[in-house]
Amino acid sequence: MDLMNGSRLRGTRLAAISLFAAGAFATGTASADTIFTVNGVDVDSAVVDLYFSSRLGQQGGQVTPEQRIALVAELKDIYILATQPSASEHEKKPEIAAQIQLQEKSILAQAVAAEYFSGIDVTEEEILAEYNLKLEQESPLEFKARHILVQTQAEAIEIIGQLDDGAGFEDLAKEKSTGPSGPNGGDLGWFSPAQMVQPFSLAVQAMENGAYSAQPVQTQFGWHVILREDSRESTPPPFESVKDEMKASVQQRKFQDHLAELRTAAEE
């Protein structure tokens, strides 16, 4: 469970549409040689490599002999089952046919998107402009806060009542908070508003230093009682440290513009 809403000035990258689609662009072979044959179907090295990458991820190392034996056995089982006589009947079922079609189109869509991304030109001026735009959108302040996370509104109201009666915030957090910061007295350290989920962030910004929330704050994690301990002017990250993220953000926006044009031109 985490309140964090992502790193500051992060760029948006195109996510892989499917596990196999992701592997398809990370693994390739100069020539595809047949590795094994199952019920008359040849399975070549491109398929094997793709299966390896989808199962093991991009580990950056060599597949061990033991892993190779196990994965080839898994892949053979897939082909054994897929070449059974009943497979052709399953292929005709609407729900199966739809899955096959969606998988195929997803992989092709990923390939077309990757091709477009590779050709997007981004200038240094565009990257700097994106950086400055993000800085303008950032809050000028960052905050130091604690919180007590509970599952129900009633529990949070009861905690606020205890605070009103003079109970210590850190003590209550250690005793009652279900969040990972509970053992540390609910301490969240310093953060920018963009780093937290919106309801929590808005509540902190509306408070005064040293004040705790008069009403419980609900997020997808539960109900929060928040203590805003301090605030200070935020220090933006150096341009060079987020340059790649800003470039990715520009590329993503250009891709979305391109996609919008394709939607307009698409035939019904």
Q: What local confidence, expressed as pLDDT, does residue 24 receive?
A: 38
Give the dihedral sign, CA 153/210/192/174: negative
In which residue are the tokens 């079609």 written?
101
Q: Which of 209, 198, 212 is nearest to 231 (CA)?
A: 209
Rg (CA), the chain: 26
How far apart (Å, rounded) are the C-alpha atoms in residues 162 and 11? 42
Q: What local confidence, expressed as pLDDT, does residue 181 receive?
A: 97
104-135 pLDDT, tens digit each: 999 999 999 999 999 999 999 999 999 999 88
For β-strands 217-219 and 222-233, DSSP reports them as antiparallel
- Render the burial of 130-147: b for 16+ CB within 10 Å, e for the rest: bbeebeeebbeebbbbbb
Q: What local confidence, expressed as pLDDT, does residue 138 receive?
A: 82
Domains and CATH numbers, the chain: 19-118 (no CATH), 124-134+237-265 (no CATH), 139-233 (3.10.50.40)
How far apart (Å, rounded) are the C-alpha atoms in residues 204 and 196? 10
Q: Which residues of the chain have pLDDT under 70?
A: 1-31, 58-61
In which residue are the tokens 């960052």 written?
142
Tell the burial category of 187 from Cβ atoms under 10 Å away from its Cβ (0-12, 13-18, 19+). middle
133-143 pLDDT, tens digit each: 988 888 889 99
Is 0.75 topped by the overall pTM? no
Query: What is the number of residues in the chain?
Result: 268
How far apart (Å, rounded) are the C-alpha atoms in residues 267 and 248? 30
**Which residues partner with 148 through β-bridges?**
225
For residue 230, what are the contacts with CB-CB under 8 A and spacing of at least 6? 143, 144, 209
How far apart (Å, rounded) are the C-alpha atoms in residues 235 and 83? 61
176-209 pLDDT, tens digit each: 999 999 999 999 999 999 899 999 999 999 999 9
Q: What local confidence, expressed as pLDDT, does residue 58 receive?
A: 57
